[in-house]
Amino acid sequence: MTPALDAVDRVHDALTGLAEALETGQPDRVLAAEQPLAQAAAALATVDRRAPADPARLRARLLEARLALDRCRALGRSSADLIGTILPAHTAYGPSGQRELRPAGRGAVNSQV
C-alpha cells in the first residue's frame, strides 16, 4: 500500500470510530476518538500529493473518507439539535470550536443521518 492510501485509510478508520462513538452518546467515547483522528490527520498532512501511485484507487478511498466525515458531521448536528430541543438555553460548541448560544424556539430535530 502506498503512503497516501495508508494515510487516507487511517483517516477513514478514525472517522468511522468517531461516528461509532457519536452514535453511543457517551462523551468519554467521543473524546477517546479524538487522539486517533488527530494522529491520522497529522499523517495525512505529511503525504506527498504531487504524484500519487494509484490515483483511481486513491480517489475512491478519499470519497469513502469524505462520506465518513459527512456522517460524523450529520451525527454531530443531530446531537446538537437534540440537546438544543431538550435544553433550549444550553450552549454548545459549533463547527468553529467556539461556544454558541442555541436560539430558543427550535422545536424540531434534524434526524437526517
Q: Which residue has the cell 491520522?
A: 40
Residue 54 belongs to a domain: yes
DSSP sequence for 3-54: HHHHHHHHHHHHHHHHHHHHHHT-HHHHHHTHHHHHHHHHHHHTS--SS-S-
Domain encompassing residue 21: 3-101
Domain count, the chain: 1
Tell me the average pLDDT across 30-37: 94
Cα–Cα distance for residue pair 53/1, rounded to 1 Å: 9
The end-to-end CA distance of the chain, in Å, is 31
**Ranked by mean pLDDT, which of 10-14, 21-25, 46-50, 103-107 comes out on top?**
10-14
pTM over 0.75: no
* 8 domain residue, yes or no: yes
- Is 74 part of a structural domain of the chain? yes
- Residue 110 within any structural domain of the chain: no
Please indicate, yes or no, if residue 94 is contained in any of the structural domains.
yes
Q: pLDDT (tens digit, 9 = 90+) per residue, 67-93?
A: 999 999 999 888 877 777 777 665 666
pLDDT at 11: 96
11 in any annotated domain: yes
DSSP string, 94-110: -TTSSEEEPPTT-----
